[in-house]
C-alpha cells in the first residue's frame, strides 16, 4: 500500500469544555479522493483548520509523507504541498489572476510577470482549468473566482488539495467542470479531500468517505460499499439503521445523486436562443408582492437586473435560480426595503418603492420577513446572546416592551420558546450566538423571521452550507408557511432544492430574467443552461 500523503493520528481539539474533534485517525493516499462529511458542528471545519495550519491540535500528530509535520501556519502547510480552497474565497478584486496566484506562492521572491503568466497557463493546462491570467478577479463570476483559488492552491505543486464545500454556489455545468478537474488531479497522483454536505458530491467523484458525528469518526469506508440512507443515518445518529434517517434518505432521489456526476468533457455551448414558452399559471392565492419593469444596478454602476416583473402570490414558493452575482442580492435588498429600484416599481399592499415610507421597518410591519444570504454578516450579532438576536427585528412590537424599554422577562421567555420550537442546540438564551454551529445560527434566524407567521418571506440561500438534517428542517419550515398562505421568494443556486420546493422558477443571468415557469414544464438541464447564460 502506498505511503499516505497525509495521515492524522489521534488528533484532538478542544475549545473550552467542548471537544470539537476527539482522537481522529484518518489518512488519504496519492491519487485518492476522500469525502469528509457530517452534520454542522460535527468537527469538519476544525479538521480543515488543523490541516490548513490555521489551528493547532491539543493532542495527536499530523504526518505528511510519513514524516511528522508542524503545521503552525497556512504558509507552513503550503510549503509541505497542502493546498486548501476554503468555502469563502479570500481574493483581491482589483488583482489579476496572475497576481492572485503569486500571493499563494511560498518563497516566490521577485516576480517576472511574463514568467508568472506562463506558470499560470501551465498549471491551467495540466489541471484542465480555463482562465485568463490577465483577467481581473473582480470581473469573474463565482465559478471563475473558485478556479482562481484552485490555481492559487495548485501553484505550489501540491500533493494534497482540500476542497471545502466546493459546489455550494456552482451551476451543474461548473460542478461538472470542477469534477473533471478533480479526476485529472487524481490521475496525476494528487490526493484530494472533499469536505461536503452534498451526497451527490460523495457518490459522484469520491473513492472513500469518512463520517464525523459529534467530533468522532464513526465510519471510514469505500463509497461503493455504502448508500445515501446509511450515510444520512451515520451523520445524524453515529450509526447505521437509524429510523430517523429514513425520511431524509427518501428525499435523496436518484436524480439528485446524478446531478453533479463528472463529465468526460465540459458541456459544449448551448444554443444562444432560448425557446419561447408560456409563463407558468400563477397560483390561486392573492398577490402579496409585485414587481413591474424593475431595473437594478450594482454598487459599481453595472446593470444587475433589467426589466424584471413578476407577481408573488400567497400560497406559493417562487424560486429565483442563478449563479451568485447575477442580481439576486440586489433584488432581495430592493424587495426588503434596503434599497430602491433604479427604474420600475415594487409593491406590497399599500406600500410601494416610490414612496418615502419604503423601508425595512414599514415592510416588516406589513408582514415581510427576510432570511439573508449571509447570516454571519447580515443575520446575526455573533457576540450577543440568543435573546438579543431574536429581538433584532422585534424591538418595536408592543409585546416587546414600551418604546426603547425592553421587557427582558418576556424576551427571555420568547427565546426559550424559540429554542424549543426550532430545536436550537444551545446552553440557553444567554449564550452568545457566535458560539453556535452554523446550522443552529440559521435556525435562530428562521425562528426570529418566522415565529410571527409573516405574509411574505424573502429566503436567500436558506440552506447553504447546512447538513442534511438542518436542510430538511429549513425546507419543512418553508413548506409549512407556504401551506399556511405565505408568499415565499426563494433565492437558490441548488437545483435539487428548487425542484423540491418551488411552484414556479425565474432564472437570472447577465441581467436577463427567464420565466416564471413551473418545474414540471422544464428540466434541470434547461434551467442549469439558463443559469449559465445559454
pTM above 0.75, yes or no: no
d(CA 309, CA 297): 16
pLDDT, one tens digit per residue, over 243-296 is 555 555 555 433 344 333 333 333 333 333 333 344 555 567 899 999 999 999
Q: How many CA atoms lie within 13 A of 448 on its CB side?
A: 25
- From 176, 54, 164, 154, select the one nearest 100 (Cα to Cα): 154
CA distances to 9, 49, 108, 165, 394 from 71, rounded to whole Å, are: 14, 10, 20, 22, 46
Residue 247 contacts residue 275 (beta carbons within 8 Å): no
pLDDT in the model for residue 105: 59
Q: What average pLDDT does the structure give for the chain? A: 83
Residue 456 contacts residue 279 (beta carbons within 8 Å): no
pLDDT average, residue stretch 447-453:
89
Residue 317 contacts residue 482 (beta carbons within 8 Å): yes
- From 49, 39, 61, 51, select the one nearest 214 (Cα to Cα): 39
Q: Mention every residue, 6+ apart, whose C-beta is less than 8 A from residue 432.
A: 382, 383, 384, 385
- From 332, 316, 426, select the one nearest 370 (Cα to Cα): 332
More confident residue, 102 or 32: 32
Residue 501 contacts residue 319 (beta carbons within 8 Å): yes
pLDDT in the model for residue 278: 45
Residue 10 contacts residue 59 (beta carbons within 8 Å): yes
pLDDT, one tens digit per residue, over 457-514 is 999 988 887 777 888 888 999 999 999 999 999 998 888 888 889 999 998 887 788 8
Q: Is the pLDDT score of 210 beyond 80?
A: yes
User: 27-46 in b/e burial notation, b at 16+ Cβ within 10 A?
Assistant: bbbbbbbbbbbbbbbbbbbb
Q: What is the CATH number of domain 288-531?
A: 3.40.50.300
Q: Mention every residue, 6+ apart, whose C-beta is less than 8 A from residue 397.
A: none
Q: What is the CATH number of domain 6-81+158-258?
A: 3.40.50.300
Q: Is the pLDDT score of 156 beyond 80?
A: no
pLDDT average, residue stretch 127-151:
78
d(CA 336, CA 321): 18
d(CA 219, CA 199): 15
Least confident interval from 34-48, 52-66, 157-171, 244-258: 244-258
pLDDT in the model for residue 233: 86
Domain 6-81+158-258 and domain 288-531, same fold? Reply is yes
Three cell numbers written together for 431 = 449564550
Going by the DSSP 8-state scheme, the letter that residue 518 receives in this structure is: -
Instruction: Show me where the domains of the chain are located.
Output: 6-81+158-258, 94-157, 288-531
More confident residue, 101 or 461: 461
Amino acid at each position: 500500500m502506498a505511503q499516505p500523503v497525509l495521515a492524522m493520528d489521534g488528533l484532538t481539539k478542544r475549545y473550552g469544555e467542548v471537544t470539537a474533534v476527539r482522537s481522529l485517525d484518518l489518512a488519504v493516499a496519492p491519487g485518492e479522493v476522500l469525502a469528509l462529511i457530517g452534520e454542522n458542528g460535527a468537527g469538519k471545519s476544525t479538521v480543515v483548520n488543523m490541516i490548513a495550519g490555521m489551528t493547532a491540535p491539543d493532542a495527536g500528530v499530523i504526518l505528511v509523507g510519513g514524516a511528522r509535520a508542524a503545521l503552525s501556519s497556512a504558509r507552513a502547510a503550503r510549503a509541505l504541498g497542502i493546498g486548501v480552497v476554503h468555502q469563502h474565497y479570500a481574493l483581491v478584486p482589483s488583482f489579476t489572476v496572475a497576481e492572485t496566484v503569486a500571493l499563494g506562492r511560498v518563497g516566490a521572491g521577485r516576480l517576472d510577470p511574463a514568467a508568472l503568466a506562463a506558470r499560470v497557463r501551465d498549471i491551467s493546462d495540466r489541471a484542465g482549468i480555463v482562465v485568463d491570467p490577465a483577467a481581473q478577479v473582480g470581473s469573474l463570476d463565482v465559478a471563475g473566482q473558485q478556479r482562481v483559488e484552485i490555481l492559487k492552491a495548485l501553484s505550489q505543486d501540491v500533493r494534497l488539495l482540500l476542497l471545502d464545500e466546493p459546489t455550494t454556489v456552482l451551476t451543474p455545468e461548473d460542478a461538472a467542470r470542477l469534477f473533471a478537474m478533480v479526476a485529472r488531479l487524481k490521475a496525476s497522483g494528487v490526493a484530494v479531500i472533499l469536505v461536503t454536505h452534498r451526497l451527490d458530491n460523495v457518490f459522484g467523484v469520491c473513492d472513500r468517505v469518512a463520517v464525523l458525528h459529534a467530533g468522532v469518526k464513526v465510519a471510514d469506508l469505500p463509497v461503493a460499499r455504502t448508500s445515501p440512507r446509511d450515510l444520512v443515518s451515520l451523520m445524524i445518529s453515529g450509526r447505521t439503521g437509524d429510523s430517523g434517517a429514513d425520511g431524509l434518505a427518501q428525499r435523496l432521489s436518484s436524480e439528485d445523486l446524478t446531478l453533479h456526476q463528472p463529465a468526460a468533457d465540459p458541456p459544449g455551448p448551448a444554443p444562444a436562443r432560448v425557446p419561447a414558452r408560456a409563463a407558468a399559471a400563477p397560483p390561486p392565492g392573492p398577490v402579496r408582492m409585485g414587481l413591474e419593469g424593475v431595473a437594478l444596478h450594482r454598487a459599481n454602476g453595472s446593470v444587475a437586473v433589467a426589466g424584471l416583473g413578476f407577481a408573488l402570490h400567497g400560497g406559493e414558493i417562487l424560486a429565483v435560480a442563478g449563479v451568485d452575482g447575477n442580481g439576486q442580492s440586489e433584488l432581495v435588498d430592493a424587495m426588503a426595503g434596503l434599497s430602491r429600484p433604479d427604474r420600475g416599481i415594487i409593491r406590497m399592499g399599500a406600500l410601494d418603492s416610490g414612496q418615502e415610507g419604503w423601508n425595512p421597518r414599514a415592510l416588516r410591519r406589513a408582514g415581510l420577513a427576510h432570511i439573508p444570504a449571509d447570516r454571519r454578516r447580515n443575520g446575526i450579532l455573533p457576540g450577543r446572546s440568543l435573546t438579543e438576536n431574536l429581538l433584532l427585528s422585534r424591538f418595536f412590537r408592543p409585546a416587546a416592551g414600551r418604546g426603547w424599554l425592553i421587557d427582558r422577562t418576556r424576551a427571555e421567555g420568547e427565546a426559550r420558546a424559540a429554542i424549543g420550537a426550532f430545536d436550537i442546540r444551545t446552553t440557553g438564551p444567554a449564550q452568545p450566538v457566535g458560539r453556535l454551529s452554523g446550522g443552529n445560527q440559521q435556525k435562530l434566524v428562521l425562528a426570529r423571521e418566522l415565529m410571527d407567521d409573516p405574509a411574505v418571506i424573502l429566503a436567500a440561500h436558506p440552506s447553504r452550507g447546512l447538513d442534511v438534517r438542518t436542510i430538511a428542517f429549513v425546507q419543512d419550515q418553508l413548506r409549512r408557511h407556504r401551506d399556511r398562505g405565505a408568499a415565499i421568494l426563494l433565492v437558490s443556486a441548488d437545483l435539487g432544492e428548487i425542484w423540491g420546493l418551488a411552484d414556479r422558477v425565474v432564472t437570472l443571468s447577465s441581467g436577463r430574467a427567464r420565466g416564471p415557469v413551473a418545474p414540471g414544464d422544464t428540466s434541470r438541464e434547461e434551467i442549469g443552461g439558463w443559469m449559465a447564460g445559454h
